[in-house]
Structure 1
Amino acid sequence: MPDADLIKLYSGRILELAADMPATDPIAAPHASVRKRSPLCGSTVTVSLDVEDGRIARYAQDVKACALGQASASVSGRVMLGLTAGDVRRGRDQLRAMLGGGPVPDSPFDGLEVLTPARDFRNRHASILLALDATVEALDQAGDQTRCAP
């Protein structure tokens, strides 16, 4: 990758977001916890959450990813509380579409616009999607648990 492309990709805003990770305090006995890994780069994100009345009530993430994956987790981690599984799934799908050349995700995930320069770097897309992929899977797990609860 040429130096100019790297500078464009790793903007100051992306690096600021990567350095300011929200929701890092662990949750004791979460309803669900999911670890996702990008096989291409080895980035990992673990998401733990609790759901109440169909919405995320508590959210924690452990992010060991490249700056792009960290920036994505930073943006999404700030808006998770109160969201439904449908909200998060829609945000994840809109982020995937944006990386493929589509529009910026709707609110509350519109802050992911900072990652538009990564469109041209397909090898980074899996890392960028990790936090939202893990959250969708955790929400599915939590929903399964609440349906099975006595």
Structure 2
Amino acid sequence: MDSALYNRHILRLATALVANHRLDDPQGTAEVRSPLCGSRIQADVTTDAGGCISQLALRANACALGQASAAILQDNAIGLDIAEISDLRDGIASALKRVGEMPTRWPDLALLAAACDYPSRHAAILLPYHAILAAAKTRNVQT
């Protein structure tokens, strides 16, 4: 295990998600999988009248990086609209490819930058964002 990649902060975040967390009445639900690494993320999403995320439940069967990314998103996504989630995903993807800087919206995102040198881990990091976007498209979640 690479200590620069799987440091104590990443491992702390990886254990932060509540197992089997579900919303009682989500507006959208989706499961996405990474064919590259086999990681799986499930998302339940509810938005308010303005199209901002009002409730979110993420469940992860992923590596520590995928779980950490999901935990960061779970802790911070309430109040964002779906376009902001998409923009964050795109910014993180660019940063992981060293095409741009890691978004600074949430300090914990900086922890994911250690994965730049590990392209096989990028899909797992982006998977929670894909799950929310897919859930938003499943049933009347405003985009």
Q: Which of 24, 30, 38 matches 1:42?
A: 38
Unaligned runs of 5+ in 1: none
Quick check: 1:49–1:56 contact (8 Å CA) kept in 2?
yes
- Distance in 1 separating the partners of 2:19 and 2:141: 23
Asked if 1:13 is matched to 2:27, the reply is: no
Native 8 Å contact 1:17 1:71 kept in 2: yes
Does 1:122 find its partner at 2:106? no
Matched, 1:94 2:91: yes
Instruction: Summarize deviations over 1:22-73 as a string: whole Å, max 9, x none.
Output: 6963112311001010111111000001111211111101111000101111
Q: TM-score, normalised by structure 1?
A: 0.86
Correspondence 1:76 to 2:42: no
Corresponding residue SS for 1:106: coil
Q: Paired residue for 2:102?
A: 104
Cα displacement (A) at 1:82: 1.0
- Distance change >3 Å, CA 68–CA 125, structure 1 → 2: same
- Deviation at residue 111 of structure 1 after TM alignment: 2.0
Give, as a single letter, the amino acid of the residue that structure 1 aligns with 2:104. D
| Structure 1 residue 7, shift from structure 2 partner | 1.5
Larger Rg: 1
SS at match of 1:33: strand
- Structure number with greater CO (CA < 8 Å, separation at least 6) is 2
> Which structure's residues are more often helix, by fraction?
1
1:60 to 57, 60, 63: 57
Residues in 2 aligned to 1:106 and 1:24: alpha-carbon distance in whole angstroms: 29
Give the structure 1 partner of residue 136 of structure 2.
139
Q: Secondary structure at the match of 2:43?
A: strand
Normalised by the size of structure 2, how large is the TM-score? 0.90
